Amino acid sequence: MTKQRLEWLDAMRGFTMLMVVANHIYDFGFGTNAKYSMFMSLCLLFRMPLFFFISGFLAYKADFTWSLRDTGTLLVKKLRVQVVPTLVFMTAYIALRAKHFWPELAAAWESPTKGGYWFTLVLLEMFIIYYIIELASRRSSVAILVAWALALAGYATMYMPAWFSWPKDYVWHLTSVTGLVRYFHFFLLGNIVHRHWGRVQRLLDSAWLYPLLIAVAFMGAADYLNWHTLRLQWANLPRTLAMYALVVLIFAFFRHYAGWFGKDRRIGAAMQYVGVRTLDIYLIHYFFIPRVPAVGAWFKANPGNFVLEGTAAIAVALLVTAFALLTSHVLRVSPLLKRWLFGR
């Protein structure tokens, strides 16, 4: 990939991180949920899938030698970057917020969301599986395609409670495997896109793809947003189609307008800056989410205000992101903290 493409990809990652913070503002800060917000419901369809898609895209390294030694070195680095910061910030956050530290720390570990810090652990699980596949298959694209199909099938079982009960088992909550199964197919999709980048670009430039994606996203999202729930097992199909369509739409948009997101543009430089500090923001932003349930209560009483909901959540998210980045800069003054808390 060229430098410009990497720049728009970093900008897209920054956009995705901002959407993650905005959703957390709406959820934890405003004290409401997707059932009462069309803005939040729409964002939930693409924000985490897009994050894992980008991670999978960047995980593909065309020139990397998948030897046992090199893979082990890469894995050790991922363990340090993903595990240590998560343990530190998760423990610190619970210590500051919890009334009863030990019970709430234990409850967080037993929860699949890990008190909000599930993302880095699930991403680590994805990297481990991906490295094993690459090492065992010797960089076979067929193996990745098969893995994607299996991951998609595993994801489908999560929404078939009449036939599959495994998502309710304690061990999968403890290990956050439910999150792994829910999003791993997006990680592999991003990896496949990068592997076949030349063909994908021709597809993205075709005249029919963009209108088709818009139609699929609209119909799938409309079905899901209308009900705010997966009514039956088959009802997850339009939702999943909407998720895939929205991920590809946003990816195609940032690629098409790559010139907007270069470092020579203010918006591009700002979004790239957020994009390269997503780990810092993710780990720190929870500390600065303001609790204003009155805002959420107003939105519940006055539903359908998509523009107001989005504006309020994004405005507060920008402020929270700024405080998270400032804290990151303060901590990075120490080379020791910079290495162990942020993997640099």
Query: What is the share, in percent, of the chain residues with pLDDT greater than 70?
Result: 96
Query: What is the share, in percent, of the chain residues with pLDDT greater than 90?
Result: 72
Written as six digits, the tokens of 301 are: 């009483």
User: Alpha-carbon distance 147 to 129, whole Å?
Assistant: 10
Provide the sign of the torsion angle of the four alpha carbons 276, 279, 284, 285, taken in this order: positive
Contact 249, 210 (CB under 8 A): yes
The one-character DSSP state at 164 is -
**Long-range CB contacts for residues 159-167, cutoff 8 Å, separation at least 24:** 159/230, 159/233, 159/236, 160/233, 161/233, 162/233
Give residue 125's Cα distance to chain centre: 14
In this prediction, residue 139 carries a pLDDT of 84
The one-character DSSP state at 302 is S
Answer with the residue of higher pLDDT: 156 or 225: 156
In this prediction, residue 97 carries a pLDDT of 87
pLDDT digits (tens, 9 = 90+) for 98-121: 888 999 999 999 999 999 999 999
pLDDT digits (tens, 9 = 90+) for 307-338: 999 999 999 999 999 999 999 999 999 999 99
pLDDT digits (tens, 9 = 90+) for 290-307: 999 999 999 988 888 889
Confidence of residue 212 (pLDDT cuts 50, 70, 90): very high
User: Alpha-carbon distance 192 to 186, whole Å?
Assistant: 10
For residues 24-56, b (16+ Cβ closer than 10 Å) or e, as one string? bbbbebbbbebebbbbbbbbbbbbbbbbbbbbb
Look up the pTM and report it: 0.94
81-99: average pLDDT:
92
In this prediction, residue 2 carries a pLDDT of 44
- Other Cβ atoms less than 10 A from the Cβ of 337: the count is 16
In this prediction, residue 231 carries a pLDDT of 52
